[in-house]
Amino acid sequence: MKPGIHRFPDMDRVVYGAAFDTAAAREVERLDARAVFVLASNTLARQTDLLDRLRTALGPRIAGVWTRMAPHTPRTDVVDAANAARAAGADLLLTLGGGSLTDAAKMIGLCLGNDVTEPAGLDAFRARIEADGSTRRPPTRPPGVRAIAVPTTLSAGEYTAFAGCTDPVREVKESFGQALMVPRVVILDPAITVHTPEWLFLSTGIRAVDHAVEDLCAINAAPFSDATSLHALRLLARALPAVKADAGDVPARLDCQVGAWLSVVGSQNGVSKGASHGIGHVLGGTAGVAHGYTSCIMLPHVLRFNAEATAERQRWMSEAMGRPGEPAADVVAALVAALGLPGRLRDVGVQEDQLDLIARESMHDRWVHTNPRRIEGPATVRGLLDAAF
């Protein structure tokens, strides 16, 4: 018998399949929030009526709206938004958009709870991961304000208490965490995801596949997340191609959203990830590659690298994805190709002269050191990057 502990996250609820504006109004009233600070995608704000619908639903409870958050959540934007939320007297944050906004709300809460008013102030709270994999997370007070998340992509960061925030000076994406940084409520409305660009929706769906796969194959896999990861793979393997075939297939979009949710149950419970996530973080923060694309490109190569160490679980994975008996790496690569997504680093703008830097920086990501097959150093990462280039 293998002992363990299952921890439930500090979330109230996940609301799925409901109209986001109606659900948001109900949740804001339930939480008795009087000054909601909204973080919305600039594109959604300019090109759709979603923000207007939210304004109508919440009325005078909205204390401010912020639409200026760049990809990968730069700390400069985070602190500017936190200062605006502070000035507005915000008692609740609400995000409408993708993963960068979700992380931004977590970081704004951290800033408000820890008196951060300048970008340099975040240095005191970032995790420090050494090249040997040792990690130190400094003490962090709880967020001053918590959040409701209305995601429009499938990256699933809205279910975790960690955030990635990029230091644009050092060109490094850093990790921050505190148990109450997880949103109190997540609202899944598949109808609003039709506004998400196809490449972004589908590629973040592969990011969710990556969550499920690396949890399933983790060095400390757990029974609860084994089950949710396998069902996530069943849903995503079927629903992502359905959305590709028919962008208006709202039930398939909801299956994708539920699959993304189920894919991160392991993350909520401390199940380690592997090198696909670890290298992907650096590709994002250092080379500007979208997170979904990093999983499209790196996951098949990491699965091949780990094949001997995780053979049985990779067989489970292939079966769940409807391709029993086929190598798991080939199953993922075929799904990526069928969705019309990139499979090479050169296809997403990574330059060959960046690979050594990416390899070195990857050794400072905790998930590289928990890969199921040991990664000895930058040379091993460089081999994976070369295979993916």
Report the alpha-carbon distance of residue 215 to residue 320 in Å, rounded.
Answer: 14
Q: What is the pLDDT of residue 329?
A: 98
Q: Are residues 23 and 169 in the same domain?
A: yes
Handedness of CA 50, 55, 57, 63 (dihedral sign): positive
Q: Are residues 255 and 280 in the same domain?
A: yes
C-alpha distance from residue 147 to each of 28, 81, 105, 122, 182 (Å): 10, 14, 7, 20, 8
Greatest alpha-carbon span in the chain: 58
Q: Are residues 160 and 222 in the same domain?
A: no
Strands 147-151 and 185-188, how do they pair? parallel
Q: Are residues 183 and 210 in the same domain?
A: no
CATH number, domain with residue 209: 1.20.1090.10
Structure tokens at 27: 């949740």
User: Count of CB atoms within 10 A of residue 138's CB?
Assistant: 11
Please say whether the beta carbons of 122 and 112 come within 8 A. Answer: no
What's the one-letter identity of residue 267?
Answer: S
Report the alpha-carbon distance of residue 284 to residue 353 in Å, rounded.
Answer: 16
Residue where one domain finishes, among candidates 169, 190, 211 = 190
Q: Are residues 164 and 57 in the same domain?
A: yes
Report the alpha-carbon distance of residue 221 to residue 233 in Å, rounded.
Answer: 16
Q: What is the pLDDT of residue 285?
A: 82
Report the alpha-carbon distance of residue 270 to residue 5 in Å, rounded.
Answer: 10
Determine the number of helices (DSSP H) and then strands (DSSP E) in the chain: 15, 10
Q: Are residues 206 and 177 in the same domain?
A: no
Q: Are residues 150 and 213 in the same domain?
A: no
* Domain extent at residue 208: 197-388
User: Count of CB atoms within 10 A of residue 238's CB?
Assistant: 15
Residue 202 lies in a domain: yes
Closest CA to 309 of 388, 221, 385: 221
Q: Are residues 290 and 225 in the same domain?
A: yes
Residue 7 lies in a domain: no
Residue 217: alpha-carbon gap to chain centroid: 18
Residue where one domain finishes, among candidates 142, 168, 190 = 190
Q: What is the pLDDT of residue 1?
A: 61
Handedness of CA 326, 327, 330, 332 (dihedral sign): positive
Closest CA to 230 of 297, 167, 321, 95: 321
Which are the contacts of 131, defined by CB distance < 8 A and separation ≥ 6?
363, 364
User: Would you call 184 helix, strand, or coil by DSSP?
Assistant: coil
Going residue by residue through the chain (389 aa), what tens digit of pLDDT does each one get?
678 888 899 999 999 999 999 999 999 999 999 999 999 999 999 999 999 999 999 999 999 999 999 988 999 999 999 999 999 999 999 999 999 999 999 999 999 999 999 999 999 999 987 777 778 899 999 999 999 999 999 999 999 999 999 999 888 888 999 999 999 999 999 999 999 999 999 999 999 999 999 999 999 999 999 999 999 999 999 999 999 999 999 999 999 999 999 999 999 989 999 999 999 999 988 899 998 999 999 999 999 999 999 999 999 999 999 999 999 999 999 999 999 999 999 999 999 999 999 999 999 998 999 999 999 999 999 999 999 99
* Angle CA 194–52–155, to nearest 5: 40
Report the alpha-carbon distance of residue 40 to residue 21 in Å, rounded.
Answer: 13
- Beta strands (DSSP E) in the chain are 13-16, 36-40, 62-66, 92-97, 128-129, 135-136, 147-151, 162-167, 172-177, 185-188
Q: What is the pLDDT of residue 134?
A: 77
Give the number of residues written for the chain.
389
**Total domain count, the chain:** 2
Task: Give the dihedral of Cα atoms 79, 81, 85, 91; nearest 10 deg.
Answer: -90
Residue where one domain finishes, among candidates 190, 207, 228 = 190
Residue 200: alpha-carbon gap to chain centroid: 12
Residue 321 lies in a domain: yes
Residue 89: phi and psi, rounded to 5, are 70, 35
Q: Are residues 205 and 160 in the same domain?
A: no
Handedness of CA 335, 166, 10, 185 (dihedral sign): negative
Q: Are residues 201 and 310 in the same domain?
A: yes
Closest CA to 7 of 228, 214, 225, 186: 225
Q: Are residues 90 and 239 in the same domain?
A: no
CATH number, domain with residue 166: 3.40.50.1970
Residue 3: phi and psi, rounded to 5, are -75, 160
Strands 36-40 and 185-188, how do they pair? unpaired
Residue 1 lies in a domain: no
Q: What is the pLDDT of residue 135?
A: 80
pTM of the model: 0.94
Q: Are residues 245 and 168 in the same domain?
A: no
